[in-house]
Amino acid sequence: MSSEQLLQQIRVNGTVPRHVAIIMDGNGRWARQRNRPREFGHRAGMASVRAVVEAASDAGVEVLTLYAFSSENWHRPHTEVTALMALLELYVRKERRDLKEKGVEVRAVGDLHRLGPRTRAALQSIVDHTRGCERLKLNLAISYGARDEIVNAARRLAERVREGTLMPGEIDEELFQKQLLFAGDPDPDLLIRTSGELRLSNFMLWQLAYTEMYVSELLWPDFGREHLFSAILDFQRRERRFGRVLAG
């Protein structure tokens, strides 16, 4: 089936996941297969980002979260980190105008203080430029780690308890969730990880509690429009139970 036929089928089926999150993995292996440096794979992965953002928007997804750089990725060799940051800046420069025209609001989520001033400024520029766009919300998880996110939430609530403005007994899931970086977004309905790895790698540990998972064997630079559509079609065949027993 062509990607447009897949999209047609998605529309016939009806329910589209509101929030899709993707662990974009396998750039390094893609480059190694071609005897090229890892950076070459990261660069190729940018085309997949472009294709997937457009496809998500066409399918009617409301929120797309892309895991672009984890807090643990800071431990990679300096040259690779530098190359990734340069690519991020390039992505912003190249896509800023187009994303706004397509109605994509970009948000940067993570510990952005660890980024260099130039990368931070680039991200800020795309966030400012696209603010208020309503067709698709695009979260770029950068320098992001879920444990860190949860610890920071706990710390903020503890501060309020110390100030005397909050009682420990008032802390519930809803209040806790509001302190997290993705507060305001629905939890992901569908999580996609490429390159066949079966792990979360410190991604959205709180928000993924009842998310449907889809693992693709494809390396990220090989993942495109039709593969996102296939993942959504797979999701549409799932029966979500949320721990309950369904009638019938």
Residue ranges in contact with Mg ion by CB under 5 A: 25
Residues 60, 135 contacting (CB under 8 angstroms): no
Helices 38-59, 3-13: inter-axial angle, 10-degree rounding: 40
For residue 2, the minimal CB distance to ligand IPE (Å) is 28
Nearer to ligand IPE, 7 or 46 (CB): 46
From the list ligand IPE, Mg ion, none, partner contacted by residue 27 (C-beta under 5 to 8 A by kind): ligand IPE
Closest distance between ligand IPE and the C-beta of residue 129, in Å?
Answer: 24
Give the start-end residues of each E strand in 113-240: 136-144, 190-193, 212-215
By a kind-dependent CB cut-off of 5 to 8 A, residue 67 interacts, out of ligand IPE, Mg ion, none, with: ligand IPE
Burial 57-73 (b: 16+ CB within 10 A, else e): bbbbbbbbbbbbbbbeb
Catalytic residue among 13, 27, 58, 73: 73
Task: Identify which of residues 73 and 125 has a Cβ nearer to ligand IPE in the complex.
Answer: 73
Q: Which is nearer to ligand IPE, 69 or 235 (CB)?
A: 69
Provide, rounded to whole angstroms, the least separation between the CB of residue 38 and ligand IPE: 6
Residues in contact with ligand IPE by the rule CB under 6 A: 23-29, 38, 67-70, 73, 84, 195, 197, 199, 201, 220
For Mg ion, the closer CB: 44 or 99: 44
Instruction: Output phi, psi for 54, to 5 deg.
Output: -65, -40
Strand partners, 22: 66, 192
Q: Which does 70 bind (CB under 5 to 8 A by kind): Mg ion, ligand IPE, none?
A: ligand IPE
Residue nearest ligand IPE, CB atom distance: 28
Is-contact 248 26, C-beta < 8 A? no
Please say whether the beta carbons of 67 and 24 come within 8 A.
yes
- 73 catalytic? Reply is yes
Please choose which of Mg ion, ligand IPE, none residue 68 contacts, taking the beta carbon within 5 to 8 angstroms, the exact cut-off set by kind.
Answer: ligand IPE
Sign of the CA dihedral running 142, 146, 147, 149: positive
- Cα–Cα nearest to 220, from 85, 88, 77, 46: 46
Catalytic residues: 25, 73
